[in-house]
A = this chain, B = another copy of it.
Amino acid sequence: MKFATPTSTVLYSIEETIKAYRRLSQQNISSIVPDITVDQALILIIIDREDKTQSEIADLVFKDYASITRIIKLMLNKNYLTKTIDDADKRKAELKITQIGKEIIEKLNPVIKKNREIALNTLSEQDIKQLFEILNKITQNCKKNSK
């Protein structure tokens, strides 16, 4: 049973693209805030924009609860965040950005904006719309057949 080489499929291209974007993002982020990862930055921004529990964050960024626990822990150690027990539901954590965290977000905002602009620079509105739609088809296909 011989068929297309793995490296000739679109799914391989998707991997390539996301890795290229992650590399670009990490490089530019590191040049402004040396000690933060792309994932930490994303989660920091999400917490800043809206109060979320860890499991809500996990669902939002497609990560495992375990990963979120560890990523949060690293940011607690760096004092970007505080974590307290939710009074209304003691299983839940209340996450708040510290002043340090806020300053980092301010520094990151323009970098993140620029990263997106660089990545999507040569794309038309139409390209982006189509990309959304096609990716969504694939995602739905995969989700329907797993879990």
Contacts and interface: CB of A to CB of B under 8 A. Distances in A.
B130 A118 contact: no
Contacts of A46: 5-7
B131 A1 contact: no
Most buried by B among A7, A46, A143, A146: A146
In the assembly, how many copies of this chain are there?
2
Interface residues on A, range: 35 or more
A50 to B, nearest CB: 9
Given A109-B3, A113-B1, A146-B27, A118 B141 contact: yes
A127 B134 contact: yes
Contacts of A112: 6
Contact of A6 (B24, B42, B130, B145): B42
Interface string A110-147: 10110010111111000110111011111111110111
A138 B128 CA distance: 11
Contacts of A18: 11, 14-15, 18
